[in-house]
């Protein structure tokens, strides 16, 4: 029993975002009632429509704390710290925690809580941020709020829900919008929140060992404006990208951009100070960053990920035989200077 | 050598308090175990979040995940004081004349002995509650400071402001100081015995490597001990300005082993320090002399409590390996 405590595996936490009416409650009810052999504690803002009486559903008022370190983007959710601490005193009752945010919530403080609070971090592990999008109303949402866009930009998994309420052509446009906002996310289309729960839970999206391993096509396409996610179901080889890019330029309500960088083998003595400086100075503009870095003379792949000014990196696994030693990095954010990022990233390359 | 009578419970034990000579162990699953000629159990909550000892009566007050505020008497009987369905009650405090304060969300509530309840709303979530040692007055810790409310008056609260999230609050025994623990690794203090209208007197107590979760005042209020470091950090409060401009004592220092609970002896300036590995030391303030009371156990010490005569120290642990130490043996 003692050893179980000291070596207890961190409990995975899934953050569920999405506008009112996007289908969060339907998805939660499925997670709570379907027979998948796992039990989840759910932290909700309001009990609302959840029809299931379960003592593992906890209501919590959103309470944003700014940290006293002078950094405006260093925010955490105080209520989550308290509730997670309480839940984790009796950890045997559940296999994971799901945090449902309000429609207008900024997902960043929720995610940062799991990195910045030592107690929470010691016992839990952020698994993935999942955004539900209402296919019918997304264009309108993007017009009236920045939050809708932030939620997509910040997500690891985007579920385009209510796909039965739009035409296939409209659905294609919605998917393009989502991918334009966030080329690194896995995107699924569904109706009545009917997504396979295996695509939502236990994703390991923030786990450096697993995160990018699960994305075999991560940045494979290397096109600046359109990088397909791993589950893009359109045919890459015959697809007319230009056509789509033309369509996307008509989307005026997107303020988030992504910058995908690709380079050769890096010099660690240049790369680390560079990424530190970028995240320090550009932190408030960076929602997410993910990358695989090939360092010169290093037999292992190095993976990095970040949220605002928080950045983590570690060796992931040895390069496979025949695998191209190249470095790839994607930034999702606002007001990013693409040319400058490209040039400074290139400058970190090791001399041949 | 002190002798340890162990009590092995299942799971996290939140707190331990003496009622008479009987230690009550409060388990996070919602039950109380009292060592009264054997392990006797009282079922209280569906998930317990907090327990305090009522300083004005021989009873305990607890709050739970089931939204209940309960009183536990010395015979183990449980009575309900208040209930807030589907709310977590993570803060309770006990005051004079049978008053009990509790909080959920952005409100503190005080239930008086006559059954009436008064509500004191805040702009932000109440994270800590304490009764003042004198008068029917509560302090509610919240984001950016503390609000002080007189229960019996419809006066405006006194707001003590300091930027940041305040997660716990305690008055010094003489009521001259108020100290909060913060989300960042620090304590903050205010001097309360200042002239009306005078500028606030702040005390910043920083430098901890971890959050401060446990605080204890010495018997006469000369010292405030705290966890949050690989030693007990003990701030001097003898002077009229408290610890301002003074360095704290560091007692029971261990290399990288964090102190998780502290408790002053009820009669002497001796501090019990519980560590994350389950070890417990007693340290005398006068000469920093240490005595080992318990070797490391299965989990972090969460709470300790001395019997009234100071001969017994009961301790609770995160892993359930609790016990009572007889230091007179």
Q: Out of B90, B124, B320, name the one closest to residue A82 (CB).
A: B90
- The set of residues, in sequence order, having a beta carbon less than 8 Å from that of A35 and lying 6+ positions away, is none
Q: From chain A, which residues contact B within 8 Å (Cβ)?
A: 1-2, 5, 47, 55, 58-61, 63, 65-69, 76, 78-79, 81-83, 86, 89-90, 92, 117-119
pLDDT score of B1: 67
Q: Same domain, yes or no, for A173 and A93?
A: yes
Q: Same domain, yes or no, for A159 and A25?
A: yes
A314: distance to nearest CA of chain B, Å?
24
* SS3 state at A83: helix
Contacts of B49 in chain A (CB under 8 A): 86
* SS3 state at A103: coil
Question: Which has more confidence, A145 or B132?
Answer: B132
pLDDT score of A217: 53
Contacts of B206 in chain A (CB under 8 A): none
Cβ distance of B143 and A78 shorter than 8 Å: yes
For B252-318, strand residue ranges (E) read 259-264, 270-275, 280-284, 290-294, 301-306, 312-317
- B296 inside 8 A of chain A by CB: no
Residue A240 inside a domain? The answer is no
pLDDT score of A3: 39
Residue A3 inside a domain? The answer is no
Cβ distance of A78 and B125 shorter than 8 Å: yes
Contacts of A79 in chain B (CB under 8 A): 125
Residue A224 inside a domain? The answer is no
User: Taking a C-beta distance cutoff of 8 angstroms, is the pair B158, B175 a contact?
Assistant: no
Chain B interface mutation, best of A89, A116, A123, highest count of B Cβ atoms under 10 Å:
A89
Q: Out of A69, A79, A117, name the one closest to residue B125 (CB).
A: A79
Q: Is the predicted pLDDT of residue B35 greater than 80, yes or no?
A: yes
Six-digit token pair at A56?
């593992």
Residue A238 inside a domain? The answer is no
B87: distance to nearest CA of chain A, Å?
7
Range of the domain at A305: 256-346
**Do the domains B1-39+208-329 and B90-207 sit in the same CATH topology, yes or no?**
yes
- B257 inside 8 A of chain A by CB: no
CA angle B23, B29, B33 (to 5 degrees): 20
CATH number assigned to the domain comprising residue A305: 3.30.1220.10
C-beta atoms surrounding A352 within 10 Å: 6
Cα separation, B259 vs A71, whole angstroms: 29
User: Taking a C-beta distance cutoff of 8 angstroms, is the pair A291, A304 a contact?
Assistant: yes
User: Taking a C-beta distance cutoff of 8 angstroms, is the pair A66, B182 a contact?
Assistant: no
Contacts of B211 in chain A (CB under 8 A): 118-119
Cα separation, B119 vs B103, whole angstroms: 9
CATH number assigned to the domain comprising residue A165: 3.40.50.300
Cα separation, A130 vs A154, whole angstroms: 9
Cα separation, B41 vs A270, whole angstroms: 63
Q: Same domain, yes or no, for A32 and A106?
A: yes
Q: Out of A65, A67, A90, name the one closest to residue B12 (CB).
A: A90
Question: Which has more confidence, A143 or B61?
Answer: B61
In 3D space, the residue among B52, B67, B13, B62 whose CA is nearest the CA of residue B35 turns out to be B13
Q: Is the predicted pLDDT of residue A212 greater than 70, yes or no?
A: no
* SS3 state at B19: strand
**What's the whole-number mean pLDDT along residues A108-125?**
93
Q: Per DSSP, what are the bridge partners of residue A307? A: A288, A310
Residue A246 inside a domain? The answer is no
Q: What is the ipTM of this complex?
A: 0.92
How many structural domains is chain A composed of? 2
Q: Out of B29, B299, B319, name the one closest to residue A90 (CB).
A: B29
pLDDT score of A83: 95
Cβ distance of B65 and A86 shorter than 8 Å: yes
In 3D space, the residue among A137, A317, A343 whose CA is nearest the CA of residue A212 turns out to be A317
Q: Within chain A, where are the H helices?
A: 2-6, 24-33, 78-87, 107-116, 118-123, 138-144, 147-154, 168-181, 241-248, 268-282, 338-346
* SS3 state at A29: helix
Q: Same domain, yes or no, for A38 and A148?
A: yes
Q: Same domain, yes or no, for A287 and A181?
A: no
Question: Domain end: A182, A199, A216, which one?
Answer: A199
User: Taking a C-beta distance cutoff of 8 angstroms, is the pair A334, A228 a contact?
Assistant: no
Cα separation, B185 vs B196, whole angstroms: 31
Residue A205 inside a domain? The answer is no
Q: Same domain, yes or no, for A119 and A192?
A: yes
Q: How confident is the model at residue A219 (pLDDT cuts 50, 70, 90)?
A: low
Q: Out of A68, A79, A81, name the one closest to residue B164 (CB).
A: A68
pLDDT score of A18: 93
Q: Per DSSP, what are the bridge partners of residue B321? A: B8
| Rounded-to-10 torsion of CA B173, B102, B10, B255 | -40
Q: Domain extents for chain B? A: 1-39+208-329, 90-207
Greatest Cα pair distance in chain B = 56
A127-136, A176-185, A230-239, B23-32: lowest mean pLDDT where? A230-239
Contacts of A117 in chain B (CB under 8 A): 183
Cβ distance of B319 and A5 shorter than 8 Å: yes
Phi/psi for B219 (5° steps) reads: -55, -40
User: Taking a C-beta distance cutoff of 8 angstroms, is the pair B69, B100 a contact?
Assistant: yes
Six-digit token pair at A171?
């659905």
Residue range A249-301, pLDDT digits in tens = 446 678 898 899 999 999 999 999 999 999 999 988 999 999 999 999 999 99
Chain A interface mutation, best of B65, B105, B295, highest count of A Cβ atoms under 10 Å:
B65
Q: Same domain, yes or no, for A48 and A165?
A: yes
Cβ distance of B165 and A61 shorter than 8 Å: no
R_g of chain A, CA atoms, integer Å? 20
Cα separation, B3 vs B318, whole angstroms: 21
Cα separation, B50 vs A61, whole angstroms: 19
Q: Same domain, yes or no, for A261 and A194?
A: no
Chain B interface mutation, best of A59, A63, A64, A113, highest count of B Cβ atoms under 10 Å:
A63
Q: Out of B49, B125, B184, name the one closest to residue A63 (CB).
A: B125
Q: How confident is the model at residue B84 (pLDDT cuts 50, 70, 90)?
A: very high
Contacts of B125 in chain A (CB under 8 A): 61, 63, 78-79
Cβ distance of B184 and A67 shorter than 8 Å: yes
**What's the whole-number mean pLDDT along residues B255-268?**
97
Q: Is the predicted pLDDT of residue A47 greater than 80, yes or no?
A: no
Q: Is the predicted pLDDT of residue A247 greater than 60, yes or no?
A: no
**What's the whole-number mean pLDDT along residues B135-162?**
94
Q: Out of A59, A68, A119, name the one closest to residue B184 (CB).
A: A68
Average pLDDT score over chain B: 95
B40: distance to nearest CA of chain A, Å?
22
Q: Is the predicted pLDDT of residue A244 greater than 60, yes or no?
A: no
Contacts of B124 in chain A (CB under 8 A): 63
Residue range B91-112, pLDDT digits in tens = 999 999 999 999 999 999 999 9
Cβ distance of B127 and A78 shorter than 8 Å: yes
Burial of A32 (0-12, 13-18, 19+ CB in 10 A): middle
- CA distances A36 to A40, A239, B201, Å, are 11, 37, 57
> Cα dihedral sign for B159, B161, B165, B169?
negative
Q: Is the predicted pLDDT of residue A203 greater than 50, yes or no?
A: yes
* SS3 state at B223: strand
Class of domain B90-207: mainly beta
User: Taking a C-beta distance cutoff of 8 angstroms, is the pair A271, A265 a contact?
Assistant: no
**What's the whole-number mean pLDDT along residues A134-150?**
90
Q: Same domain, yes or no, for A192 and A278?
A: no
Six-digit token pair at A164?
């039965």
Q: Same domain, yes or no, for A167 and A295?
A: no
Q: Which residue of A has its CA nearest to B46?
A: A55
Six-digit token pair at A329?
């990095």
Q: Same domain, yes or no, for A187 and A310?
A: no
User: Taking a C-beta distance cutoff of 8 angstroms, is the pair B51, B14 a contact?
Assistant: yes
Cα separation, A21 vs A321, whole angstroms: 48
Cβ distance of B319 and A81 shorter than 8 Å: no
Residue A244 inside a domain? The answer is no
Residue A71 inside a domain? The answer is yes
**What's the whole-number mean pLDDT along residues A187-204?**
91
Cα separation, A120 vs A89, whole angstroms: 12
Question: Domain end: A184, A199, A214, which one?
Answer: A199
Question: Which has more confidence, B113 or A53?
Answer: B113
Contacts of B210 in chain A (CB under 8 A): 118
Cβ distance of B125 and A118 shorter than 8 Å: no
Q: Which residue has the tokens 């807030």?
A: B84
- CATH 2.130.10.10 describes domain B1-39+208-329: yes
C-beta atoms surrounding A235 within 10 Å: 7
Cβ distance of B124 and A63 shorter than 8 Å: yes
Cβ distance of A86 and B47 shorter than 8 Å: yes
**What's the whole-number mean pLDDT along residues B236-261?**
94
Phi/psi for B263 (5° steps) reads: -155, 120
Burial of B50 (0-12, 13-18, 19+ CB in 10 A): buried
Cα separation, A100 vs A40, whole angstroms: 12
pLDDT score of A227: 38
Cα separation, A207 vs A85, whole angstroms: 21
Cβ distance of A2 and B210 shorter than 8 Å: no
Q: Out of B124, B165, B319, name the one closest to residue A1 (CB).
A: B319
Q: Same domain, yes or no, for A158 and A280?
A: no
Q: How far is CA A12 from the centre of its chain?
A: 14
**What's the whole-number mean pLDDT along residues B99-127?**
96
pLDDT score of A222: 38
């Amino acid at each position: 029993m003692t050893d179980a405590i000291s070596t207890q595996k961190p409990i995975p936490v899934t953050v569920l975002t999405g506008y009112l009416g996007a289908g969060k409650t339907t998805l939660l009810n499925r997670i709570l009632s379907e027979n998948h052999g796992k039990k989840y504690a759910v932290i909700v803002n309001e009990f609302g429509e959840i029809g299931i009486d379960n003592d593992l559903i906890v209501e919590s008022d959103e309470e944003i704390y700014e940290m006293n370190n002078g950094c405006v983007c260093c925010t955490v959710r105080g209520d989550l710290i308290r509730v997670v601490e309480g839940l984790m005193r009796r950890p045997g009752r559940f296999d994971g925690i799901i945090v449902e945010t309000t429609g207008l919530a900024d997902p960043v403080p929720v995610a940062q809580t799991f990195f910045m609070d030592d107690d929470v971090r010691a016992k839990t592990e952020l698994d993935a941020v999942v955004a539900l999008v209402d296919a019918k109303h997304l264009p309108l949402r993007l017009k009236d709020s920045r939050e809708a866009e932030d939620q997509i930009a910040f997500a690891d998994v985007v579920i385009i829900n209510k796909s039965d309420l739009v035409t296939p052509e409209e659905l294609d446009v919605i998917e393009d919008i989502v991918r334009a906002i966030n080329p690194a996310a896995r995107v699924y289309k569904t109706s009545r929140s009917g997504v396979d729960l295996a695509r939502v839970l236990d994703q390991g999206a923030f786990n450096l060992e697993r995160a990018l391993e699960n994305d075999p096509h991560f940045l494979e396409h290397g096109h600046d404006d359109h990088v397909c996610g791993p589950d893009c179901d359109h045919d890459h080889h015959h697809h007319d990208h230009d056509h789509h890019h033309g369509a996307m330029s008509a989307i005026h309500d997107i303020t988030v951009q992504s910058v995908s960088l690709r380079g050769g083998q890096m010099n660690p003595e240049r790369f680390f100070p560079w990424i530190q400086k970028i995240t320090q100075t550009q932190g408030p503009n960076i929602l997410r960053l993910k990358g695989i870095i090939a360092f010169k003379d290093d037999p292992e792949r190095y993976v990095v990920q970040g949220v605002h000014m928080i950045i983590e990196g570690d060796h992931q696994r040895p390069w496979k035989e025949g695998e191209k030693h190249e470095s790839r990095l994607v930034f999702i954010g606002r007001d990013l200077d693409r040319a400058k990022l490209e040039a400074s990233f290139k400058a970190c390359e090791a001399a041949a | 050598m002190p002798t340890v009578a162990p009590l092995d419970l299942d799971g996290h034990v939140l707190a331990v308090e003496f009622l008479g000579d009987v230690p009550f162990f409060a388990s996070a699953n919602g039950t109380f175990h009292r060592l009264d000629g054997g392990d006797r159990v009282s079922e209280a909550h569906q998930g317990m979040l907090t327990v305090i000892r009522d300083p004005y009566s021989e009873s305990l007050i607890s709050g739970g995940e089931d939204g209940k505020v309960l009183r536990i008497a010395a015979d183990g009987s449980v009575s309900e004081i208040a209930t807030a369905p589907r709310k977590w009650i993570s803060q309770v405090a006990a005051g004079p004349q049978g008053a009990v304060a509790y909080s959920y969300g952005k409100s503190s509530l005080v239930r008086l002995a006559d059954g009436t309840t008064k509500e004191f709303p805040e702009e932000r979530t109440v994270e800590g509650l304490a009764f003042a040692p004198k008068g029917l007055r509560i302090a509610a810790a919240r984001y950016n400071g503390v609000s002080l409310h007189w229960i019996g008056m419809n006066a405006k609260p006194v707001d003590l402001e300091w930027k940041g999230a305040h997660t716990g609050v305690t008055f010094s025994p003489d009521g001259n100081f108020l100290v909060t623990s913060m989300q960042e690794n620090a304590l903050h203090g205010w001097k309360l015995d200042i002239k009306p209208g005078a500028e606030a007197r702040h005390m910043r107590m920083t430098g901890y490597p971890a959050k401060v979760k446990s605080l204890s005042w010495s018997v006469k209020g000369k010292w405030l001990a705290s966890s949050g470091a690989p030693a007990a950090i003990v701030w001097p409060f003898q002077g009229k300005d408290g610890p301002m401009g003074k360095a704290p004592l560091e007692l029971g220092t261990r290399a990288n082993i964090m102190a998780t609970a502290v408790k002053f002896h009820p009669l002497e300036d001796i501090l019990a320090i519980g560590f994350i590995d389950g070890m417990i030391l007693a340290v005398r303030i006068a000469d920093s002399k240490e005595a080992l009371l318990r070797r490391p156990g299965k989990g972090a010490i969460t709470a300790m409590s001395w019997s009234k005569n100071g001969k017994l120290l009961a301790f609770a642990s995160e892993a359930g390996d609790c016990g009572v130490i007889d230091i007179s043996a």
